[in-house]
């Protein structure tokens, strides 16, 4: 230490040594060359707070300081440390006088103690800037090189084991709260492994540590703590992370008896967690928990040379090669859309392991075999003509098949079919023939249309005459209707007149009958008959005397001539009477 010291020169030798200087951003690792031996199996010496920064060698020895690697490291600064009692390793040099013979013989550097210079700086954890410009979030995975061994069956150490998880299960806490506890850490107990003695005092064990280091700079002892940077779990929108836990409480299946193709467990147990992690960033230890990212949005897979730009799950899918019933080979480009519900994702992964297995082993087999079997059972032409029907049948088949794995099928689409060359030629020839037939039909329809056009044109040219004839038809129709109306009127008139006359005759007859009965009572039947006969003759102007009288001479020749004259005179008289009756009837009708 600086100052004046008086020593007897015969007994003492004085040498000057530099202060231990630890630059900024570096650490100093201390190795004690004096003290008690370390316990068997221990790789570092126990540390006590009284040791401070190892500047008091006497105090260190009196308080039971041990030889070997000291658990704390020196932070940046200047330290007056005894050069014989301690060696201090820094990035640039080694301070102190080595006692070990093998160390005396060479110039000491960090490599002399199997350390690299970059191990003697602060451990900085920050986002990883990749060469392609992409920034990747990381966590520090810690491996401890000293301490008690892990419990049997464990692969990583967690302070307090999983007693807190058991307590939460007994209290029937939700699984989401258990996940929060597991995703948290207990690094505050030992100041992020910087207080290695506190780490051991609180049950820390050698090996892989459950709790990782987050972003920051840490002064870690490179002899005791190793840090590996690994990507942080990042779950994007439209995804869920299914967690496969390799640490935790023993496996207890919670999937139920109906689920026979796998198992799920509650968070905190070994196995596939029954709840996935949604969108977010999670600082979990990928050595302890494996995350399988499952797309929960509609996933499109292409059976073609081209693959989806959004993912590489279909990178191993190729065109489906199938043969028809006749042996024609087809190459089919296919697109399948599937959807995995978020709550079903753990069961899906429990059955198939990974999304890549689902696509390559389940989907590829189901889709490829279905189309190969279908094509082999039908002629090539029928497949081409009923492509849409085949597509619908494939959708129903694949949907039923994937439902066994809790996967929904949203659609199956035949994108393209590469036909055999021979079949293409046949199809082309047939299509040309069909097109020619259609052409002839169109030509026939054109000629038929032209005939109709000419007919319409002729009809248009005759419109004037057609109008005149139509008017004539209308006039004739109107006249016919007028005549019909007149005839109906005359018929009605005659019917009414006849009915009236009949009634008159009936009334007159009844009156005359009554009069006849009274006359018979008064005059007698003979007299009544004679009287009425004279009355009828008088009313009808019947002559009592003959109308024609021909009187001849006394000779016989005159009789024939007289008879002829009488006949002719009678015919003229009848004709005259008939004419008179006809004139009378005409006057009655027209009036």
Contact 404, 331 (CB under 8 A): no
251 and 141 inside one domain: yes
116 and 166 inside one domain: no
Confidence of residue 552 (pLDDT cuts 50, 70, 90): low
132 and 95 inside one domain: no
Three-state SS sequence of 10-57: CCCCCCCCCCEEECCCECEEEEECCCECCCCCCCCECCCHHHCCCCCH
- Computed over every residue of the chain, the mean pLDDT equals 85
Residue 452, in any domain of the structure: yes
Query: How far apart are alpha carbons 188 and 73 in whole angstroms?
Result: 18
Q: What is the pLDDT of residues 29-76, one digit of tens each?
A: 999 999 999 999 899 999 999 999 999 999 999 999 999 999 999 999
55 and 83 inside one domain: yes
209 and 330 inside one domain: no
Quick one: DSSP state of residue 96? S
Other CB atoms within 10 Å distance of the CB of residue 236:
11
212 and 253 inside one domain: yes
Domain total of the chain? 6
Confidence of residue 384 (pLDDT cuts 50, 70, 90): confident
Q: What is the pLDDT of residues 346-356, one digit of tens each?
A: 999 999 999 99
46 and 178 inside one domain: no
33 and 114 inside one domain: yes
DSSP-assigned states of every residue in 296-310: -S-EEEEESSS--SS
Residue 450, in any domain of the structure: yes
The tokens describing 556, both together, are 């016989």
Write down the pLDDT at residue 587. Answer: 47
Q: Please give the residue range of the domain that contains residue 75.
A: 20-120
Query: How far apart are alpha carbons 545 and 377 in whole angstroms?
Result: 123
257 and 163 inside one domain: yes
Residue 507, in any domain of the structure: no
Residue 435, in any domain of the structure: yes
Confidence of residue 386 (pLDDT cuts 50, 70, 90): confident
Tell me the HSE value of 17 on the side-chain side, using a 13 A CA sphere: 22
Other CB atoms within 10 Å distance of the CB of residue 61:
14
Query: How far apart are alpha carbons 31 and 37 in whole angstroms?
Result: 13
Domain at 342, CATH number: 3.30.479.30
Residue 558, in any domain of the structure: yes
Residue 26, in any domain of the structure: yes
Q: Which of 116-130, 145-159, 361-375 has the lowest mean pLDDT?
A: 361-375
131 and 243 inside one domain: yes
Q: What is the pLDDT of residues 471-512, one digit of tens each?
A: 778 888 888 787 887 878 777 777 777 777 777 777 777 777
115 and 186 inside one domain: no
Contact 205, 157 (CB under 8 A): yes
317 and 410 inside one domain: yes
- 87 DSSP β-pair partners: 31
Residue 1, in any domain of the structure: no
Residue 153, in any domain of the structure: yes
């Amino acid at each position: 230490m600086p100052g004046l010291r008086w020593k007897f020169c015969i007994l003492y030798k004085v040498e000057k040594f530099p202060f231990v200087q630890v630059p900024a951003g570096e650490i100093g690792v201390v190795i004690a060359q004096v003290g008690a031996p370390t316990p068997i199996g221990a790789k570092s010496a126990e540390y006590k707070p009284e040791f401070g920064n190892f500047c008091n060698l006497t105090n260190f020895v009196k308080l039971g300081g041990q030889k070997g690697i000291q658990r704390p490291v020196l932070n940046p600064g200047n330290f007056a440390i005894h050069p014989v009692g301690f060696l201090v390793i820094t990035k640039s040099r080694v301070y102190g006088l080595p006692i070990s013979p093998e160390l005396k013989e060479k110039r000491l550097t960090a490599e002399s103690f199997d350390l690299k210079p970059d191990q003697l700086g602060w451990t900085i954890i920050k986002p990883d800037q990749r060469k392609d410009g992409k920034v990747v979030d990381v966590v520090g995975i810690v491996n401890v090189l000293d301490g008690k061994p892990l419990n049997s069956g464990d692969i990583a150490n967690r302070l307090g084991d999983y007693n807190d998880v058991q307590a939460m299960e007994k209290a029937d806490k939700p699984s989401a709260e258990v996940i929060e506890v597991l995703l948290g850490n207990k690094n505050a107990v030992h100041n992020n492994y910087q207080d290695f003695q506190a780490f051991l005092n609180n049950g820390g064990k050698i090996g892989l540590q459950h709790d990782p280091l987050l972003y920051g700079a840490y002064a870690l002892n490179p002899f005791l703590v190793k840090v590996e940077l690994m990507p942080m779990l990042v779950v994007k929108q439209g995804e869920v992370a299914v967690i496969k836990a390799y640490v935790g409480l023993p496996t207890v299946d919670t999937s139920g008896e109906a689920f026979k193709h796998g198992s799920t467990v509650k968070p905190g147990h070994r196995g596939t967690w029954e709840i996935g992690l949604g969108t977010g960033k999670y600082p979990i230890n990928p050595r302890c928990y494996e995350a399988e990212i499952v797309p929960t949005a509609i996933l499109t897979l292409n059976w073609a040379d081209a693959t989806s730009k959004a993912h590489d799950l279909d990178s191993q899918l190729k065109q489906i090669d199938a043969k028809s019933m006749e042996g024609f080979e087809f190459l089919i480009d296919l697109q399948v859309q599937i959807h995995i519900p978020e709550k079903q994702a753990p069961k899906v992964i429990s059955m198939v392991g990974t999304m890549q297995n689902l696509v390559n082993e389940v989907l590829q087999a189901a889709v490829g075999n279905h189309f190969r079997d279908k094509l082999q059972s039908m002629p090539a032409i029928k497949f081409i003509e009923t492509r849409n029907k085949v597509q619908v049948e494939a959708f129903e088949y694949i949907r039923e098949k994937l439902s066994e794995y809790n996967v929904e099928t949203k659609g199956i689409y035949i994108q393209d079919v590469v036909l055999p060359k021979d079949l293409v030629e046949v199809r082309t020839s047939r299509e040309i023939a069909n097109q020619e037939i259609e052409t002839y039909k169109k030509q026939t329809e054109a000629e038929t249309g032209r005939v109709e056009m000419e007919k319409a044109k002729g009809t248009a040219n005759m419109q004037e005459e057609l109008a005149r004839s139509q008017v004539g038809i209308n006039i004739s129709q109107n006249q016919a209707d007028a005549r019909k109306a007149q005839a109906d009127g005359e018929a009605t008139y005659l019917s009414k007149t006849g009915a009236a006359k009949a009634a008159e005759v009936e009334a007159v007859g009844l009156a005359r009958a009554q009069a006849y009965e009274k006359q018979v009572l008064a005059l007698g039947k003979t007299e009544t008959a004679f009287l009425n006969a004279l009355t009828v003759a008088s009313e009808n102007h019947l002559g009592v005397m003959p109308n024609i009288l021909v009187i001849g001479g006394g000779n016989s020749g005159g009789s024939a001539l007289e008879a002829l004259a009488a006949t002719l005179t009678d015919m003229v008289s009848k004709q005259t009477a008939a004419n008179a009756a006809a004139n009378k009837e005409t006057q009655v009708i027209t009036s």
